[in-house]
Structure formats: C-alpha cells, structure tokens
Amino acid sequence: MPLIASPNFDLHAHSTVSDGLLAPAALVGRAAERGVTALALTDHDEVSGIAAARAAAVQAGIALIAGVEISVSWGEITVHVVGLGIDPDAPSLRAGLEGMRRKRTSRAARIAESLERIGIRGSLEGAYRHAGNPELVGRTHFARFLVEAGVSSDVKSVFRHYLAAGKLGYVPHEWATLGDACAWIRAAGGVAVLAHPARYKVSRREMQTLVEAFKAAGGEAIEVVSGNHDAAQAAAFARVARAHGLAASRGSDFHGPGEGYAELGRLAPLPSDLEPVWERLAV
C-alpha cells in the first residue's frame, strides 16, 4: 500500500503579538520541529506578527497561513471568529482591528480597578509587563501577573477564580459584532471560522442560533478538532458541521509551552467525510 503523507495543518496559534509566549519566528520554528506542514498565525485582534512569521516559514520550509482571531460580542457572551487566508493589509480589517485595540486599553484599566477593589494591587503595571504588545493587553497578561504575585498557582485557576465571566475581576466589554468581524475577514479575502465552539456556555438551541447567525454573516467553517475540545466535543461539532454544511478546521490554540495549552500539531485528524477548510485556502 502506498504511503501518503497526511498534511499536518494547525490553523490556530498565538504569538507574543497577542497573548502567546513565543515570538512569531520562534512559534513557526517550533511548529516546523513538531511536523506541522501549514501553520496559521491567529493572534487576537492583531495581524502585525504575520510578516515575521512568513519570513520564518520560508526558512523552515513550511506554509504560513495569515490569520487573525477576532473577539465578538454575541448577546451576553463573547465568541471568537478566526479569519484564515486574510490579506493583513486590507483597509477595513486593519481599521476594524485598530478600533478594537484602542478599547482594550480602557478595559485593562477597569480590570485593574476591579482587582484593586478586592485588594490586589499593581495589576495594571503587572499586566503590561507581561504584554509583548501593549496594544493587545488582555486577561492572559493579568493572569500571568496574578500567578507571579502568588495570588493563584496557575493561569487556569486565575481565570476560574478571578477573570472568567461573572468573577470579581471580570469586566463586561463590547467587542466587534459578528457581522463586522465576518465582513472584515471576507473583505480581506479570508475565510471566517467559528473558533472553539465547545467553549461557549450556551444551550443546544442557542448554539444552533449562533451557527445560523454566523452563516448568515458569511461564516464558512467551524473548528471541529481543537486544543479546547475533547474527543466527544470534536464528534459533536463534526455533526454540527455536517448539519449546517460548514467546512471543518483543526487548530491547537497553542499559546506557549506550559500553562496547559495544547501542543502544536499534535491533534487528531479531521473526520474524513468533512471538507477541510484548507481546501478553500490558497496554501
């Protein structure tokens, strides 16, 4: 039987340009070492790491897919939409993301105030010390500071006790609309992917409404195999992809070594009957 090398696509990963721990070039190098054949750099609300990642990918001999992960407010919850195969210079995408980054600065001050009220001092400066890109300061940087300050033992427990929705350090925030996020991605020539759907705390009925709204906004694909999903969740979202005619994506959501994130390129393959989203990308 001929051996066919199956491609190892990892279409969701972060660098120091958002809340990852590795610079774009180091991230690409690590992906190549782990056998990834095509990596998407999908920093939160920011595309400025793509040029360096692309140069490193040429050196490493792997494909680099230009991506972004856009934060979206959908009703009461926050959802994430990954854009793949985008032109990082597209004007509407750039302008949209720039507006989002400006609002992160004021949110950071409000997070620090809420932590101050429960006796945690110095978190604004602390978070900025951990932010590789000050425009992208976010909850992960606060979490790393809180671990450093000894408030919690690890990043996951900081979220559980302080930073998750409803906890004392959480502040509500208005992100992009689903329509805007998908429109920016499409205007940049990209494919919109609903990220890690199992993370959203919604009923089955609401999930169906979300997927329908996402499709109506121009969304084309959904993450089925994700570093955030267990096998049962992957199977459940494979069914969602089939039921709604969505292409399927596979991505680790790697943020760096340690902190409990999935490793690059180590996920299960996509179920073979689904259309892989990379067939819609010029890889």
Distance CA 172, CA 149 (A): 24
Please identify which residue in the block is written with the tokens 């009461």. Answer: 76
The one among 8, 140, 226, 249 contacting ligand AMP by CB under 6 A: 140
| CB 157 within 8 Å of CB 144 | no
Helix (H, G, I), strand (E, B) or coil at 187: helix
The one among 15, 71, 226, 252 contacting ligand AMP by CB under 6 A: 71
Least spacing, CB of residue 69 vs ligand AMP, in Å: 7
Question: What six digits make up the tokens of 119?
Answer: 């006796």
- Give the residue with the Cβ less far from Mn ion, 117 or 160: 160
Nearest CA among 269, 229, 231, 257 for reference residue 9: 269
Binding mask 6-25 for Mn ion (x = CB under 5 A): -------------x------
Estimate the crossing angle of helix 204-216 against helix 178-187, to 10 degrees: 40
Question: What six digits make up the tokens of 262?
Answer: 């999935």
- Give the residue with the Cβ less far from Mn ion, 101 or 242: 101
Chain center to CA of 261: 12
Least spacing, CB of residue 83 vs ligand AMP, in Å: 15
The one among 96, 225, 253, 281 contacting Mn ion by CB under 5 A: 253
Of all residues in the shown chain, the one whose CB is closest to Mn ion is 80
Residue 46 binding target from ligand AMP, Mn ion, none, CB below 5 to 8 Å by type: none
Of all residues in the shown chain, the one whose CB is closest to ligand AMP is 138
274 is an interface residue for ligand AMP by CB under 6 A: no
44 is an interface residue for ligand AMP by CB under 6 A: yes
Question: What six digits make up the tokens of 193?
Answer: 């992917």
Helix (H, G, I), strand (E, B) or coil at 250: strand
155 is an interface residue for ligand AMP by CB under 6 A: yes
| CB 87 within 8 Å of CB 188 | yes
Q: Which stretch binds Mn ion (CB under 5 A): 62-70, 96-104, 124-132, 166-174?
A: 62-70
46 is an interface residue for Mn ion by CB under 5 A: no
Positions in 221-260 near ligand AMP (CB under 6 A) = 255
Distance CA 45, CA 96 (A): 9
Question: Where in the chain does DSSP place strands (E)?
Answer: 9-10, 38-41, 63-74, 77-84, 191-194, 221-226, 247-251
| CB 97 within 8 Å of CB 66 | no
The one among 16, 46, 49, 80 contacting Mn ion by CB under 5 A: 80
Positions in 13-42 near ligand AMP (CB under 6 A) = 19
Contacts with Mn ion by CB under 5 A lie at 19, 69, 80, 195, 253
Contacts with ligand AMP by CB under 6 A lie at 19, 44, 71, 138-140, 155-156, 159, 164, 255
